[in-house]
Chain A
Amino acid sequence: MNRPLILCGLALALLGCGSAPTRAPLRDYILTGAKPDHLFVIDAASRSVASDFRIPEANGWVGSIATTADGKVAYVLVNRMESIAGIDLTTGKQVFRADLSQGNERVKSFFGINVTPDGKQLIVYELPTLLELNEYKVQEPRFAIFDTSAGLAAKPVRQFPAPRRVHMILPKKDGLSFFALGFQLYEFDLASGKLLQERGVRDWNRPDYSLPDVLAFWPVSEPTGVFSTPTYSMHGAGEGKPGVQRTSLMTLDLGSGALSYQDFEDTVALIFSTAISPVKGQAFGVYTQLTKIDTVKGVLADRVDLAHTFYTVNLSSDGKEVFLGGTTCDIAFYDPDTLKQRANMKLPGCPDQSISTMRVIRR
């Protein structure tokens, strides 16, 4: 359900309410979901809620958020991973809906949704299970491609087989293929579903390192177009030596497809998610601490304790502010140079963001 007054607030902020829009300088807006059905649009500069949209039939659960750079529509995984709601970020109306489960086939998507850069196709990783009269039959996973103009009863325009245990979908910038992160980093042709290559996790080919542990489900690649995630592995183990656990930053350039891993410390802190700054050489990670990584030297640059756990991190488009979200009901704004908190904004009603993604759009 929309809230007209707040909606007008967003429209005013974005376009001017009730009048023909005049082009104003672009501003950063933070998108975040919260239980049971909130999709918040936050004006980053004024630290204020521009919109508090309510997602229909979210069933108490708001997960991954996929959107395009222009931020027209947000695709939100809801209904305990079984539905995707496309919410128009100007009107708050649901303009797209795909309920994945049909008949006796229950389908869940483990955080694996994303939208192509042109906003026309939605890529969904599906985990189907047949609920038969007296047994479950787990089916092989698949990718389902939806046309985002399909409206409120969207059906896939095509489906093709997928590997098991994928947790992240990242479309390539050219819109021709997409990456899926799981046992490996897979790349699939968007049109044909053909596996183009797999590399980089089980085949990460780093001698003297154990296989990395990777589990990121925050599909954040703004503002640089580079996705990043922390990975953990044991280095130097074997022949009676226990080895040392190392934290590495995995980066995937969604434009070029370049994949790299950069160790930056022995694992002394748990990091849930990371984001790459447009300011050269800076990346940030969060959990109970805010971590700044020097990606030129490959070292820990700075670290500060946080008031509580934050699951997800993002940045302003100019890299001059770090946003911390997820977990509970506040967004924290940090100075990327001093790692001092500039502001902290409570979401109205204090709903838990939990594992929802925090995205930044520019309008």
Chain B
Amino acid sequence: MIQSGIERKPRSRAAAALVAAAFLYAPLQALAAEPALADASAGLATTRTYCAGCHTESSPAHFQRLSVIRKSPEGWVMTIFRMEHVHGLALPEEARDTIVKYLADTQGLAPSESAAGRFALERRPNVPDLQMGDDLPVMCGRCHSLARVALQRRDADEWLKHMHMHVGQFPSLEYQASSRDRYWWQTATTVLPGKLGGLFPFDTPEWRDWKAGTHAQPTGEWLVRGRTPGRGDYFGTLRVASQGPDAYSAQWSVQYADGKASRATSKVRLYTGYEWRGTSEWESTEVREVFALSADGQRLSGRWFDAQRAEIGGDLTAERADGPAAILAVSPRALKAGTTQEVVIAGRGLKGAVSFGPGTKATTLATAPGMLRVSVSVDAKAAIGERSVSVGKTAAAQMAVVYDQVDRLQVLPGNAIARVGGGKIAPVTAQFEAFGFLEPRPDSAVRTPIALGPMNVRWKLAPRNEEAVKADDVKFAGSIDASGQFMPGAAGPNPERKYASNNAGDLSVIASLDQGGKELKGDSHLIVTVQRWNTPPIY
């Protein structure tokens, strides 16, 4: 269940951060009395009560410092968390939530402004950080993601105060590696404020337009599709009902490509007119939903994840159920010549005969809302390459691909980090997938590499280098299961290792696919390292 009540003295910073991360997912009872974006009077009053003691209200609804910064909902959660844990702010959970809602609505980010950093809000693991020149990665990005920077808006004078906050709160900052080799403070106070104020200013046309506009509601019926790395594609339906201003209940019914069905109801709050934050329980796991509603209200997209283990989760796309007939997805999209397999076709208004083109034969096995389950037989000599798929009069290009063999395997993520765990800090796992590709062949229609999707492979770990061999990293750092999920070893000094080292490691993750006696391989680089003690909603 979601966190309720205020944990005044969390056992650790990590525990505290988990509490902080839960702020956005408040119980519906607390939401019922909340104002809509249009009516922010309660939010203003609550902000005045809890913030104005320090952030003086210099003119109506203008609080010093507070009113010249814009952030994501998670950004505001982190700010309030810091005020509570560093500056002694005490406030009830309802007030905290009201303030976050008010600030995210009145001083949030337009969709175009949050786009670049969404991967951080969505807690996507092993995504390379934003590329932002030479100095910012070292000056800022060596401690936290540059997405965290790009998810804030301030003018230069406020960015300068931000630098003072950093060194004021973390005096060791100037002494750390990649800081002590330069005049960090001088650069941070003379160069960066103007630079960041130029890149990420407080006032933008995008925000002015967004704030002034009216926003779509997510209520109604949706068709849902997505993919859970390591498990596979899923399809289903979603019904969203209003539970008060900007509060919703969402009823999910999904089916995995492997046939397993699952249902859940989530409690949702919409921030800034598009930031969907939901909490639900799926198969006994508490789940968070970080989705964005498109400006036209026709599409919902993002990622959901395990509330305790954010690296575990899946992608989601939802489209309105009542649109024109369309094929939205085919799973699996790769059809091997000479075989018969079951395929799910997801879409709207799917009626009539199913076709995957010449050399194939498709038979509908079952229908369900938003999807068809079909059996597809492919001739051994069917032409390889991408195929259009049609259901009755509805067709979609490049939805499927016929292949005879996999030419290349690519393991993703190509570079990954896992963290040892145990005790107060959960381990951070890493999920690998091996994607197959058809490579161009002169005697076929294949002109560019064609993605076949995740392949069912065997997984193996190997030492990455000589040091990893000497330290026997494969033995100590962790193990990988048949689904490609790496589970790191336990945290703490390990007396069995040289120097009583922890269970860190430098590994190659190797996928192999047996194709009639010929083995195809792909690999990825995995670093297993120590815990993160500080686990805020935005890294």
Contacts and interface: CB of A to CB of B under 8 A. Distances in A.
25 contacts: A81-B171, A108-B171, A110-B171, A110-B175, A127-B171, A129-B167, A131-B168, A133-B54, A134-B64, A134-B65, A136-B169, A137-B164, A137-B168, A138-B163, A138-B167, A138-B168, A164-B174, A164-B183, A211-B181, A213-B180, A215-B175, A215-B180, A288-B499, A288-B501, A307-B500
Contacts of B64: 134
A110 B65 contact: no
Given A133-B54, A165-B180, A213-B181, A308 B171 contact: no
Interface residues of A, number: 27
B172 A135 contact: no
Interface string B482-515: 0000000000010000111100000000000000
Given A110-B175, A164-B183, A164-B185, 17 more contacts: A81-B171, A106-B168, A129-B167, A129-B168, A133-B56, A134-B56, A135-B65, A137-B164, A164-B174, A165-B180, A165-B184, A183-B183, A211-B181, A288-B501, A305-B498, A307-B500, A308-B493
B55 interface: yes
B8 to A, nearest CB: 19
B499 A309 contact: yes
Interface string B158-202: 000101110111011011010011011100000000000000000
A306 interface: yes
Interface in A126-181: 127, 129, 131, 133-138, 164-165, 167
A308 B168 contact: no
7 closest A-B pairs by beta carbon, nearest first, are A136-B168, A308-B500, A288-B499, A129-B168, A136-B164, A134-B54, A138-B167
B60 to A, nearest CB: 18
Nearest to A129: B168
Nearest to B169: A136
Interface hub of B64, B164, B183 (most chain A Cβ within 10 A): B164
Contacts of A129: 164, 167-168, 171
Contacts of A108: 171
A308 B164 contact: no
A33 to B, nearest CB: 18
A331 B15 CA distance: 33
Contacts of B167: 129, 136, 138
A305 B168 CA distance: 39
A346 to B, nearest CB: 14
B242 to A, nearest CB: 37
B499 A308 contact: yes
A168 to B, nearest CB: 11
Contacts of A306: 499
Contacts of B168: 106, 129, 131, 136-138
A138 B56 CA distance: 21
Given A127-B171, A215-B175, A135 B499 contact: no
A127 B172 CA distance: 10
Contacts of B55: 134
Interface residues of B, number: 27
A188 to B, nearest CB: 20
Contacts of A183: 183
Interface hub of B163, B500, B501 (most chain A Cβ within 10 A): B500
Contacts, number: 65
A108 B167 CA distance: 11
A165 B65 CA distance: 28
Interface string B56-96: 10000000110000000000000000000000000000000
Given A134-B65, A215-B180, A307 B499 contact: yes
A328 B499 CA distance: 13
A110 B172 contact: yes
Interface string A209-223: 001010100000000
Contacts of A309: 499-500
Contacts of B184: 165
A135 B168 CA distance: 9
A136 B180 contact: no
Nearest to A106: B168
A127 B184 CA distance: 15
Contacts of A164: 174, 183, 185
Contact of B164 (A138, A211, A213, A215): A138
Interface string A302-320: 0001111100000000000
A165 B171 contact: no
Contacts of A110: 171-172, 175
B155 to A, nearest CB: 15
Interface string B23-64: 000000000000000000000000000000011100000001
A165 B174 contact: yes
Contacts of A211: 181
B449 to A, nearest CB: 33
B185 to A, nearest CB: 6
Nearest to B179: A165
B481 to A, nearest CB: 31
Contacts of A213: 177, 180-181
A357 to B, nearest CB: 16
Contact of B161 (A135, A288, A307): A135
A183 B55 CA distance: 37
B235 to A, nearest CB: 50
A139 B396 CA distance: 64
A242 to B, nearest CB: 17
A353 B310 CA distance: 34
A135 B164 contact: yes
B467 to A, nearest CB: 11
Contacts of B185: 138, 164-165
Contacts of B174: 164-165
A44 to B, nearest CB: 24
A137 B167 CA distance: 9
Contacts of B493: 308, 328
A110 B173 CA distance: 11
Nearest to B176: A215
A127 B493 CA distance: 34
Interface string B321-338: 000000000000000000
A109 to B, nearest CB: 9
A327 to B, nearest CB: 10
Contacts of B56: 133-134
Contacts of A136: 161, 164-165, 167-169
B183 to A, nearest CB: 8
A133 to B, nearest CB: 5
Interface in B96-155: none
A84 B161 CA distance: 30
A250 B183 CA distance: 22
